[in-house]
Amino acid sequence: MISRHVDVQAVYKDNARFTSERGNLLTTLLRGGDTAAGKMIAVTDGPRQRELRAVLLKAFSPRVLQRVAERVRQSTRRAVQAAVRRGEFDFAGEVADRIPMTTICDLLGVPEADRPQLLRLNKSALSSDDDGETFSDAWAARNEILMYFAELAEQRRAHPEDDVISALATGSIGDRALTVHEIIFNCYSLVIGGDETARLSMCTAVHALSEHKDQWRALRDGEVAMETAVEEVLRWATPAMHFGRVALEDVVLHDRTIAAGDIVTVWNCSANRDERVFDQPGVFDLGRRPNKHVTFGFGPHFCLGSYLARVEMAALLAALAEFAADIEPSGPVTRVRSNFLSGPSRLPVAVVPTAAVHELDLVP
């Protein structure tokens, strides 16, 4: 277990001694490995990882990102305004469930009719809202997602559109077209990463603002910059608690030997509370500077979706500041069941609306 900020960063950027190709989550590492290794960017290292990342970056062009970002701002503002008009609601189910899934599906090119089913599967793939769900349920959900993208990729290969699935389906590395497995595994990675972590971060943000009223007032009154507020929420939430690696050789760290073949977990949630890096790390401070959190990872596997995740969080915080005068918990908070993800799955809140909620028509 690697817990210090400096050591977490060091492991993340060291693909020579720590590999992700035997899995990057405890659930796969402890079961012997990841079948997507060498095909999915998250569990691929070295030149192959850089080649796959280059294909994906073409699909994440500024033109595409700006188009999706504008839709994020509009849809988030609309969703928050409608929810605040109701006064009491489950923020997780009625707001956070909608925004990240809409964003990543817009980017990927997933038809709107398929999105509710994809959200349901996502909620079972790496975490659960239900304590009765089993490993087999999660395995089945992951496989359903893969099969869904296999069908959609086949369609886009024949009739490409302006989206990420089409870019992957028609993409190539050198003279070789991407394989079906490379396409569907990377679609899976993007939809899981783009939905789950952003959704849980949003829920944690609202929960924290309802508990830390001084920070809520600072945000609402414009006393803190939106940029610093977003980064602090991301540090505070740390929705992906850990990532995993396997040591390729013996490594001595702090007088301890990590043996070749050992499973190594880097704990983001610990690094983001490291008092050597963050002054008073247990304090929720929307004006925190500097804020070198590792919520998006570090090094070669730094999150491709970090730009859109920041756009989503900024849009949420801006809409809350515009439409909510106060936020209070209105019922018990339920958290996801997972050894990987962290955050509320149910978040009942009561919101006092501002005058703007009633003065303005819902954004079309």
Half-sphere exposure of 31 (CA within 13 A, CB side): 10
From CA 220, how far away is CA 281, in angstroms rounded? 23
State pTM to two decimals.
0.91
User: How confident is the model at residue 271, as a pLDDT?
Assistant: 98
More reliable by pLDDT, 110 or 209? 209
From CA 12, how far away is CA 160, in angstroms rounded? 35
Q: Which of 234, 315, 296, 303 is nearest to 69 (CA)?
A: 315
User: How confident is the model at residue 188, as a pLDDT?
Assistant: 87
User: How confident is the model at residue 91, as a pLDDT?
Assistant: 97
229's tokens: 């507020």
Task: Name residues whose C-beta falls within 8 Å of residue 83's C-beta, 6 or more positions apart in sequence.
Answer: 89, 91, 94, 95, 351
User: How confident is the model at residue 62, as a pLDDT?
Assistant: 80
From CA 73, how far away is CA 93, in angstroms rounded? 19
280's tokens: 């008073």
The answer to whether residues 312 and 342 touch, using CB atoms and an 8 Å cutoff, is: no
> Lowest-confidence range among 72-81, 169-178, 236-245, 295-304?
169-178
From CA 233, how far away is CA 275, in angstroms rounded? 17
Spell out a b/e string for 201-237, using b for 16 or more CB atoms within 10 Å of the CB, else e. Answer: bbbbbbbbbbebeebbebbbeeebebebbbbbbbbbb
Look at the block and give the residue holding tokens 């060291």. Answer: 14
Q: Is the pLDDT of residue 363 over 80?
A: no
Domain parsing of the chain, residue ranges: 5-359
223-239 per-position pLDDT tens digit: 999 999 999 999 999 99
Which stretches of the chain are assigned E, i.e. beta strand? 18-19, 88-90, 172-173, 176-177, 242-247, 251-253, 256-258, 263-267, 324-329, 334-335, 344-346, 348-353
142-173 per-position pLDDT tens digit: 888 899 999 999 999 899 988 889 988 998 99
104-146 per-position pLDDT tens digit: 888 888 999 998 888 888 877 666 666 666 767 777 888 888 9
CATH class of 5-359: mainly alpha
Across 317-329, average pLDDT? 96
Give me the percent of the chain exceeding a pLDDT of 70. 96
Across 294-301, average pLDDT? 96
pLDDT band at 364 (very low <50, low <70, confident <90, very high): very low
User: How confident is the model at residue 283, as a pLDDT?
Assistant: 98
The answer to whether residues 347 and 207 touch, using CB atoms and an 8 Å cutoff, is: yes
User: How confident is the model at residue 127, as a pLDDT?
Assistant: 64
User: How confident is the model at residue 96, as a pLDDT?
Assistant: 94
User: How confident is the model at residue 209, as a pLDDT?
Assistant: 98
Average pLDDT across the chain, whole number: 91
